[in-house]
Structure formats: C-alpha cells, structure tokens
Amino acid sequence: MFDLDLWREIFQSINKNRTRSLLSGFTVAFAILLFTILFGIANGLQNTFEQEFVDTASNSIFIMSGQTSMANEGLQAGRKIQFKNEDYDYIKEEFSDKVEFITSRVFKSVNASYKTEKNNYSLIAVHPDYQFVEKNIIKEGRYINQNDLENRTKNIVIGRLVEEDLFIKESAIGKYVNLNGIQFKVVGVFTDEGGDDEERIIYMPLATAQHLYGNNDYIDQMNLTYSPELNYEQALGFSNLLTRKLKSRFSVASDDQRGIRVFNMAEATQQVDQMTLGLTVIILVIGFGTLIAGIVGISNIMIFIVKERTKEIGIRKALGATPKSIISIILIESILITAIAGYVGLLIGVGVLELIGSSLEVYFITNPGVNNSLVFGATITLVFAGALAGYLPAQKASRIKPIVALRND
C-alpha cells in the first residue's frame, strides 16, 4: 500500500539529514561508478582481442614457403621452394576429407586508376574459396568464381575503401579500373571486419594473375580452413601431417623450419582463448572486489546511521511507534538513497565511458561498455546489501528499550 505519510516522513528525514544521506549515497554511487568503469574498460580490452582475431577464420592454416636452411637428400641448403598449382591440387586431393576451403594466393602491388583518381594497392590473386577463408563479406556484386578462373577473365573484386578512394561516391560495379596499364572490370565490392587495411585490397582470379604477370603457375602462399568438426588435437595432428607430407614432397629436412612453414590458427586461437579466459577471470575479480568494497562501505554507514538515530528511535517508540514502523522508516530510507545513488553512479559511469571511450583505442580498449543488466544487478546487490546491513541494526534498535535510547548521554 502506498502510504503518503510514511513517504513524507522519509523524505523529510532524507532532506533534513543531508550529510548522512549524501554520505551513504556517495558510497553506493562511487562503488557503482567504479564497477561500471572497470567493467567497461575490461570489456573494451576483450573487444579489442576479439576484433584482432575475428578477421580470419579461426580454423585457418597458412602454408608458406621459403629457402631451405639445411641440406637434405643431396640438395644444398639455401634452395628456394616454390609452390605451384600442382601442389594446390595435391593438398586438395590428399586431404579432401579434412579440408573445408582452400585457396592459393599470389601477392602483387598495383597502381590502380579510375578516371582521375589513382592509388597504390595490394593485389591478391585467389581461388573463389578465399572469400570464406578470409571472411570477406560481399557488399555488392559477386566474388571471384570458378568461371573467372577457367576463362582467366579480367574481373576483379575490390575492398570497400578502394571503391571509396577511386569512385568517390559512384558505385564501382561494372566499371573498369586500370591496373598497371590493363583494364579490369569490377564485379564485386567487399567489406571485412579486420580493419581498414583489409578493405584496401583488390582480388583477382588466380589464373588471370598467373597468366598476366609471368605466364607461369607459381603460387606464393596457400590458405585453407579445415573441417570445423576437427577438435583442437585433431587440427594440430592434421597440420603436422600436412607439414610432413609437404616436406617430403619437396625433399625438405623434417626439422628445417624455413623451407616450408605451416601455421595453424588453432594454436593462436587456443592462446587467445586462454587470454580471454584470463581476462574474464580478472574482470570477475575486479567486479567482485569493487562490489564487496561497496557492500562493506554501505554496511558501515548503515550501522552508523542506526546508531546515530538511536535516540530518535527511542523518542518515536515512547510516542507509540511500533517496531515495524521504525524498521520500515529506516529501511525504506536507506533503500531509496542507495537505489537512487546507484542509478546516478551508473549514469555517470556510462557517461564517462561514452565520453572517453573512443580515445582509449590507443590502449587496446575498443568500445568500452557495460552490459546494463549486469550493472543493474550490481546496483540491486548493493541496495540489497545496504538493506540487509541496515536491517539487522534497525531491528536491534527497534527492540531497544526506549529508556536506554533516551538516556542522557
């Protein structure tokens, strides 16, 4: 039931005892403020982490070649290993049950121009599967397809920022871009969550690039993703097997670390997962720590408040106040103050995060923010703790014989 008189009593008490009200309010507001900011920053760190690694499929394997560092099978050290199309076919064939997507890569740098706009971009010649390995998202048009490969079409797919640079406000689809003197037709525009650099890339069919730039079947690098059904151990086993097979295929010593390199993202992912777990634990510890500090603070203040009000309680009892009315007046007052203060703390905390959030990216903190339900939960915990901390002494005070409370001190 809404008792207007009770609320009048409470508001008067809050209003006339401002120091006391501010003190308890400040404790809660500050605890929630700290909680919000710390949690927000921790979340920001985690966001950075996730963003850094979301870019490439986590089940990726990169296969790179270099110069051998050891002599093997009568071959001298320093021999250059060059992948060719047949190696791509070999892997695709040999591991067909484990490979999900596979693509070759040839890297080049090109000067691109459209009308008066000019710029230098990285060009990567790829298989159609590359879209899934790199997690490119088609914004407009289509990706490189099988037909492009077979017919060595002069079609390209460009990143969102390439389109922005060269075409300003126009749509690039169907237009021709000049790459090092040859005209290519833009068939698609893609976006990538990996950041700006990933969107300043031009993709070309592998066969086209091999034909135009050297007329060979060389490959710089191969990327593949393995079947998501493989667990961590199986994935490692797969990449180890792949490494061994490739090394023997190219007569590279089994402990040569340079000739052929296979990098399995699973290992990195594992590390990232552990890091994220560590971060989560730290966040939880910080959160609980702040919360406990807040609880201790508000409990102390509640005990102090009840102590301070003992005489008033005695007077009220002498005038006919029931224990229940005394407990409720103290509790509702403290709940009201802590709830409002908690909300204020939350608002300030969120405001601070909003304000400084974007300037923290230098410190690897991206989009620091908090889950609202989490902070509400924390506020409610504090309010509840305050109420509990107030309830016990209030109940005790309500049982005090008025004469003890009224004794001259």
Number of neighbouring beta carbons within 10 Å of residue 409: 6
Q: Does 317 bind other proteins (CB under 8 A)?
A: yes
Spatial distance between the Cα atoms of 327 and 193, rounded to a whole number of angstroms: 56
Q: Which H or E run includes 186?
A: strand 182-191
CB of 9 to other proteins, least distance (A): 8
- Write the binding mask 187 to 226 for other proteins: x where contact by CB under 8 A, - elsewhere: ----------------------------------------
Pick 77 or 400: Cβ nearer other proteins: 400
Is residue 395 involved in binding other proteins (CB under 8 A)? no
**Does residue 324 belong to the site contacting other proteins (CB under 8 A)?**
yes
- Measured CA to CA, the distance from residue 35 to residue 50 in angstroms comes to 22
Any contact of residue 355 with other proteins (CB under 8 A)? no
* Residue 196: both structure tokens together: 């700006």
Based on the shown chain and the rule CB under 8 A, indicate whether residue 408 belongs to the binding site for other proteins. yes
* 149 contributes a contact to other proteins by CB under 8 A: no
Q: Which two tokens stand for residue 317?
A: 């009892």
Which residues 330-349 are close enough to bind other proteins by CB under 8 A? Answer: none
Q: Do 60 and 71 touch, CB atoms closer than 8 A?
A: no
Give the interface segment with other proteins, choosing from 125-133, 244-252, 253-261, 400-408 (CB under 8 A): 400-408
CB of 24 to other proteins, least distance (A): 16
* Beta carbons of 112 and 162 less than 8 angstroms apart: yes
Give the residue from 148, 157, 145, 154 showing the smallest Cα distance to 199: 157
Are the beta carbons of 163 and 172 closer than 8 angstroms?
A: yes
255 interacts with other proteins by CB under 8 A: no
* Nearer to other proteins (CB atom), residue 3 or residue 361: 3
Q: Which of 138, 168, 282, 318 binds other proteins (CB under 8 A)?
A: 318
Among 1, 5, 74, 97, which residue interacts with other proteins (rule: CB under 8 A)? 5
Give me 57's structure tokens.
């499929």
Of the candidate spans 356-364, 370-378, 383-391, 397-405, the one that interacts with other proteins by CB under 8 A turns out to be: 397-405
What residues have CB less than 8 Å from 332, skipping those under 6 apart? 6, 10
CA atoms of 184 and 173, how far apart (whole Å) = 11
Pick the stretch among 79-87, 158-166, 241-249, 312-320 that binds other proteins (CB under 8 A).
312-320
Rounded to the nearest whole angstrom, what is the least distance from the CB of residue 5 to other proteins in the complex?
Answer: 6
Q: Are 6 and 316 in contact (CB under 8 A)?
A: no
Q: Which one of 261, 323, 367, 369 is in contact with other proteins (CB under 8 A)?
A: 323
Look up residue 157 and give its two tokens.
């797919």
Binding test (CB under 8 A) with other proteins, winner from 51, 119, 145, 325: 325
- Burial pattern 217-236, b for ≥16 Cβ within 10 A else e, equals bebebbbbbbeeebeeeebe
Could you tell me which residues are beta bridge partners of residue 122?
109, 201
* Cβ 103 vs Cβ 234: under 8 Å: no
The contact pattern for other proteins, residues 7-46, with x = CB under 8 A and - = no contact, is -xx--xx--xx-----------------------------
* Residue 321 lies near other proteins (rule: CB under 8 A): yes
Q: Which residues bind other proteins (CB under 8 A)?
A: 4-5, 8-9, 12-13, 16-17, 311-312, 314-325, 398-399, 401-403, 406, 408
